[in-house]
């Protein structure tokens, strides 16, 4: 047999492949792809940071060429390609990749458009202050283990002595063999709050930690929809977090062109390529998979991101935006996979386990640092004790040294005669003559006493673990004070998500919508009650050619239904509406609802609960009325729902809540009013898509201006009175002197010129639907008209708003009680060009309801 044949070892191929592949897999997992849970770094990142620290490239030193750093890393620690090292260095300097970059880059380090960085010979770098303070501080104090590098010529740290939970702070992404990690970045201040909470309560749960760490905080900002994905990631280690860019609908004017609606994108989801996104949108438009977009341009500059997506005139802005969310990366998912190395083994960790690993590592690092400091202090004090012995026996020591034949003899005699150690004897022999002065002797004694205090303190730290936790907390607070920044990513409630409504106070609010579509919400308590006939307060900053059209009061927990002139209903939660100051103009409603440019909101309803026994009563401009069950509107799609079918030229104008036992009071511009039952005999329930039936017969030139509902108890009382006597008497104002008919509720009639009165509802007898009705008010001048006719009670307050946005809040009892034929008293003082636009009742507060 030849020598070459003797070297062949027969082996089973299956076993060999299995063993070799497993070794390769573990090498990739431990040495390349997965971060260590203690310092949150992969070997290449750790080696780059340590090499830069060794080179002295701290935040207070000048920049150095990246090529110098890459060469240092390759030559000493990382025997791989220079591209891999430079790419890792570049990523640690990108503020759109790292929530808190660890390297300060000087030059072109790439962009969010996926532009490549400049070559390493052109760029420069140095460490950020957080990298030094949070990762590398105390590395010389034996806080971590060191191992030989690839050729045994250098030592490198196994892990960095991180003072912050870096793995959660900047996240990590890595694909190993058979496993992968994808950890989102977080806010430094929130992580420190969570770590401190765990120090105070070691048994804190993942859900309790979410009070301190509500969710990821991406460097590019954006929004996170809902909390379920975050909860899954934090409690199980895996979860899908829905990210969405920040997009608003604005009116823009390009040079030399008319105003257009446009979608403005100012923030993108994490790791989204901006240039690729714009290209994708253009492709979808060209393929006609998204309609309504006329132009796309990138107006981003050094002040921030701005992608302008211009819309066609007939486009529905909200619908286009929803399509962009669905078909592009403006909305995407972050698949959290919280995998990291714990004791060199890959483990799927929850949020509490991450912080527990970090805190246990900090305890170990501080313990090792304290032992190192204690040893150094004891060694120094040992020398000082020898020097003090020499100073106390100075003459004898000098004679001994002068009489010795050589230094070795002197050293041995010092050890023997004064019971010194060899180290102390060496220190005495090396002591300079100037140390023999009285002042120097005092300094040595003072240093000795100081070291004794330090040694006692170090021993106390090592003896009591609570001291170590106090040090950890103090160091975390110091870092938070200097390096923490506000949260960039907003967590918003998603459809079906829990939580937000339980955290929002159910406050009374007033909602205003102007003719030009500006919507806003204000707290009712912004307007205190005023006397009748006063001028009122400004409730909205109205444009010259705009007027207030709709006015509604409700509570923050209500569901607000918006009905358009085209018979479509949309829904929003009241707390989602923009809460603005009295003088703010409001937000264009097209930013909140997917309404067309030729569609207008004509009525708003606040619904607290969708019950089966309530109905929506709808009245059109041409006087057609119908009743539909409220439960049919419990689930309104994002693009709206048909509420009523309309004839040609007709519009839906008024919508009210009612029960079957209530009655309906309708008022016309010329001051007529009709009152009829809402029961099935007069008004049978119809489906959502049905048309209405005739409500009121109108004189020539007259039109319907309002509709309100009388509760069932009042309706029954009026019906009983009508059965007993035929009320045909037309009372004059001065004849309303007896108590008969004065009881509540009343009809509050207000004219456009600011006059109003209360009228007992008993004066509006029940009639059959489709009649002409009775006179509700007498006008003082021919140009006046009825602006509103509402049902009110003694405890009610009402708010009146004018076309110029002036609001007055008033108690109903301040308005005179008069007959139907009376002309009323002045309710609000108006400017010459102003007029009453609408009135709304203030709902009773929760406290008032409880008292009742």
Active site residue ranges:
122
Tokens of 324: 């962009």
| Rounded Cα–Cα distance for residues 218 and 203 (Å) | 28
Q: Would you say 759 and 749 are in contact if contact means Cβ atoms under 8 Å apart?
A: yes
Q: Would you say 739 and 755 are in contact if contact means Cβ atoms under 8 Å apart?
A: no
Q: Would you say 752 and 670 are in contact if contact means Cβ atoms under 8 Å apart?
A: no
Beta bridge pairs of residue 307:
265, 298
Q: DSSP readout, 584-644? A: ---EEGGGTS---TT--EEEEEEES---SS-EEEEEETTSEEEEEEGGGGSS--TT-EE--
Q: Would you say 539 and 527 are in contact if contact means Cβ atoms under 8 Å apart?
A: yes
Q: Which of 763, 770, 816, 787 shows the shortest CA–CA distance to 667? A: 787
Q: DSSP readout, 211-234? A: TT--S---TT--EEE-SHHHHHHH
Q: Which of 248, 253, 279, 250 shows the shortest CA–CA distance to 266? A: 248
DSSP 36: B
| Rounded Cα–Cα distance for residues 527 and 312 (Å) | 41
Half-sphere exposure of 483 (CA within 13 A, CB side): 26
Q: Would you say 384 and 447 are in contact if contact means Cβ atoms under 8 Å apart?
A: yes
| Rounded Cα–Cα distance for residues 637 and 665 (Å) | 31
| Rounded Cα–Cα distance for residues 594 and 323 (Å) | 12
| Rounded Cα–Cα distance for residues 464 and 370 (Å) | 12
Question: 675 to each of 220, 682, 789, how far by Cα in Å?
Answer: 59, 11, 12
Beta bridge pairs of residue 332:
243
Q: Is 409 helix (H, G, I), strand (E, B) or coil?
A: helix
Beta bridge pairs of residue 559:
573, 607
Q: Which of 186, 465, 522 shows the shortest CA–CA distance to 336? A: 186
Q: Which of 662, 549, 557, 651 shows the shortest CA–CA distance to 606? A: 557
Which residue in this structure is represented by tokens 């431990």?
Answer: 30
DSSP 561: E
SS (H, E, C) 291-354: CCEEEEEECCECCECCEEEEECCCCCHHHHHHHHHHHCCCEEEEEEECEEEECCEEEECCHHHH
| Rounded Cα–Cα distance for residues 610 and 754 (Å) | 36
40 alpha carbon, distance to own chain's centre: 26
Question: 358 to each of 210, 313, 811, how far by Cα in Å?
Answer: 17, 56, 62
What is the CA angle 287-244-587, rounded to 5?
A: 95
> At residue 421, what are phi and psi to the nearest 5 degrees?
-85, 165
Beta bridge pairs of residue 304:
301
Q: Which of 144, 134, 217, 170 shows the shortest CA–CA distance to 472? A: 134
DSSP 781: S
- The helix or strand, by DSSP H or E, that contains position 125, with its residue range, turns out to be strand 124-127
């Amino acid at each position: 047999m030849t020598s070459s044949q003797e070297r062949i070892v027969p082996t089973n191929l299956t076993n060999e492949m299995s063993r070799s592949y497993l070794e390769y897999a573990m090498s990739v997992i431990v040495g390349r792809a997965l971060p260590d849970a203690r310092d949150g770094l992969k070997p290449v990142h750790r080696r780059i940071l340590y090499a830069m620290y060794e080179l002295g490239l701290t935040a207070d030193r000048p920049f150095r060429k990246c090529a110098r750093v890459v060469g240092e890393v390759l030559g000493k620690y990382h025997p791989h390609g220079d591209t891999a090292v430079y790419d890792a260095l570049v990523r640690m300097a990108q503020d759109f990749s790292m929530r808190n970059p660890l390297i300060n880059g000087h030059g072109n380090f790439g962009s969010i458009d996926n532009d490549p960085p400049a070559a390493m010979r052109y760029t420069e770098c140095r460490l950020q202050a957080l990298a030094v303070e949070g990762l590398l501080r105390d590395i010389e104090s034996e806080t971590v283990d060191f191992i030989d590098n690839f050729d045994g010529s250098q030592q490198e740290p196994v892990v960095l002595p991180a003072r912050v939970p870096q793995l959660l702070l900047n996240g990590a992404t890595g694909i190993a063999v058979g496993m992968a990690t994808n950890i989102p970045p977080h806010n430094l201040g929130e992580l420190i709050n969570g770590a401190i909470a765990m120090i105070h309560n070691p048994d804190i749960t993942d859900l309790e930690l979410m009070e301190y760490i509500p969710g990821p905080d991406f460097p590019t900002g954006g929004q996170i929809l809902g909390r379920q994905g975050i909860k899954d990631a934090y409690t199980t280690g895996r979860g899908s977090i829905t990210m969405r860019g920040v997009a608003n609908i604005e009116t823009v004017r390009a040079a030399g062109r008319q105003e257009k609606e446009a979608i403005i994108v100012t923030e993108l989801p994490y790791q989204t390529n901006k240039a690729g996104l714009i290209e994708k949108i253009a492709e979808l438009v060209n393929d006609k998979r998204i309609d309504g977009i006329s132009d796309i341009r990138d107006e981003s500059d050094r002040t921030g991101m701005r992608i302008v997506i211009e819309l066609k005139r007939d486009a529905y802005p909200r619908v286009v935006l929803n399509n962009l969310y669905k078909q592009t990366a403006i909305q995407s998912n972050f698949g959290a996979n919280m995998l990291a190395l714990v004791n060199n083994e890959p483990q799927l960790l929850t949020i509490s386990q991450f912080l527990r690993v970090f805190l246990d590592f900090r305890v170990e690092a501080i313990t090792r640092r304290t032992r190192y400091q204690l040893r150094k202090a004891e060694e120094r004090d040992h020398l000082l004790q020898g020097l003090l012995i020499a100073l106390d026996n100075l003459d004898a020591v000098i004679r001994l040294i002068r009489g010795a034949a050589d230094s070795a003899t002197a050293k041995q005699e010092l050890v023997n005669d004064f019971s010194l150690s060899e180290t102390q004897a060496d220190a005495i022999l090396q002591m300079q003559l100037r140390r023999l002065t009285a002042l120097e002797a005092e300094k040595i004694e003072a240093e000795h006493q100081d070291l004794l205090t330090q040694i006692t303190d170090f021993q106390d730290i090592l003896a009591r673990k609570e001291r170590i936790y106090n040090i950890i907390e103090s160091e975390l607070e110091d870092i938070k004070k200097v390096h923490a920044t506000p949260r960039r990513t907003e967590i918003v409630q998603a459809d079906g998500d829990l939580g937000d409504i339980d955290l929002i106070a159910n406050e009374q609010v007033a909602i205003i919508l102007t003719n030009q579509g500006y919507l806003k919400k204000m707290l009712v308590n912004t307007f205190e009650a005023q006397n009748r006939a006063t001028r009122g307060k400004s409730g909205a900053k109205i444009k010259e050619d705009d007027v207030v059209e709709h006015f509604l009061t409700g509570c923050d927990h209500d569901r607000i239904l918006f009905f358009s002139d085209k018979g479509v209903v949309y829904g929003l939660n009241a707390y989602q509406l923009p809460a603005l100051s009295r003088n703010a103009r409001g937000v264009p409603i097209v930013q909140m609802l997917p309404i067309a440019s030729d569609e207008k909101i004509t009525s708003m309803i606040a619904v607290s609960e969708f019950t089966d026994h309530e109905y929506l009563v709808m009245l059109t401009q041409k006087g057609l009325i119908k009743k539909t069950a409220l439960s049919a509107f419990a689930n309104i799609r994002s693009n709206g729902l048909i509420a009523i079918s309309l004839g040609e030229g007709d519009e839906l104008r008024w919508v009210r809540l009612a029960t079957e036992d209530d009655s309906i009071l309708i008022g016309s511009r010329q001051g007529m009013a009709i009152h009829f039952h809402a029961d099935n005999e007069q008004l049978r329930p119809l489906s959502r898509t049905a048309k209405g039936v005739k409500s009121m017969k109108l004189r020539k030139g007259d039109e319907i201006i309002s509709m309100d509902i009388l509760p069932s108890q009042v309706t029954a009382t009026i019906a009983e009175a009508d059965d007993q006597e035929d009320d045909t008497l037309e009372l004059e104002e001065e004849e309303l002197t007896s108590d008969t008919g004065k009881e509540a509720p009343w009809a509050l009639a207000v004219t456009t010129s600011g006059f109003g009165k209360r009228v007992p509802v008993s004066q509006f007898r029940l009639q059959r639907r489709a009649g002409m009705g009775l006179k509700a008010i007498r006008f003082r001048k021919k140009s006046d008209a009825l602006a509103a006719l509402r049902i009110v009670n003694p405890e009610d307050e009402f708010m009146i708003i004018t076309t110029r946005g002036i609001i007055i809040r008033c108690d109903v009892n301040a308005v005179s009680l008069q007959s139907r034929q009376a002309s009323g008293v002045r309710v609000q003082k108006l400017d010459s060009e102003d007029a009453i636009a609408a009135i709304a009742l203030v709902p009773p507060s929760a406290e008032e309801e409880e008292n009742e």
